[in-house]
A and B are shown apart, each in its own frame.
Chain A
Amino acid sequence: MLLNGVRNAAIATARDVGVKEMERGMPVSLRASLQLVSDPKNLDETVEEVFKMMLGIDCRRDSGPVDLEPESVTAVVGFGGLLSGACLFKSGSSTAIKIAAAMTGMEFAEVDDTVKDGIGEMGNMLAGAWKSKVPNLAANCGLSIPAVITGRDYNLHVQAPEFKLVHAYRFDGGSFEVTIICDGLQ
Chain B
Amino acid sequence: MSEIRTLIVDDSSVMRKIVERSLRQAGLDSMVVYEACSGTEGLDLLKAKQVDLILSDINMPSMDGLEFLRQLRAQNLAPGVPVVMITTESSEEHVKQAILAGAQGYIRKPFTAEQVKERVLPLLQPA
Q: State whether the Cβ of A174 lies closer than 8 Å to any Cβ in chain B.
A: no
Interface size class of chain A, counting residues whose CB lies under 8 Å from the partner chain: 20 to 34
A117 to B17, CA, bound (A): 12
Q: In the assembly, what is the distance between CA of A16 and CA of B61, in Å?
A: 14
Indicate if the CB atoms of A139 and B93 lie closer than 8 Å.
Answer: yes
B13 touches A117 (CB 8 A): yes
| Closest residue of B by beta carbon distance from A21 | B93
A43 to chain B, nearest CB (A): 15
Whether A18 lies near B93 (C-beta < 8 A) is yes
A124 on the interface (CB 8 Å rule)?
yes
Stretch at the interface among A32-40, A49-57, A156-164: A49-57
Q: How far is the CA of A143 from the CA of B93 in the complex (A)?
A: 15
CB of A124 within 8 A of CB of B88, answer yes
Q: Is the CB of A143 within 8 A of B110?
A: no
Chain B, Cβ-Cβ closest to A121: B12
Q: How far is the CA of A100 from the CA of B15 in the complex (A)?
A: 11
Q: Roughly how many angstroms separate A127 CA and B17 CA in the complex, as a whole number?
A: 21
- The interface residues of chain B lying within 8 Å CB-to-CB of A54 are 18, 109-111
- The chain B residue with its CB closest to the CB of A113 is B13
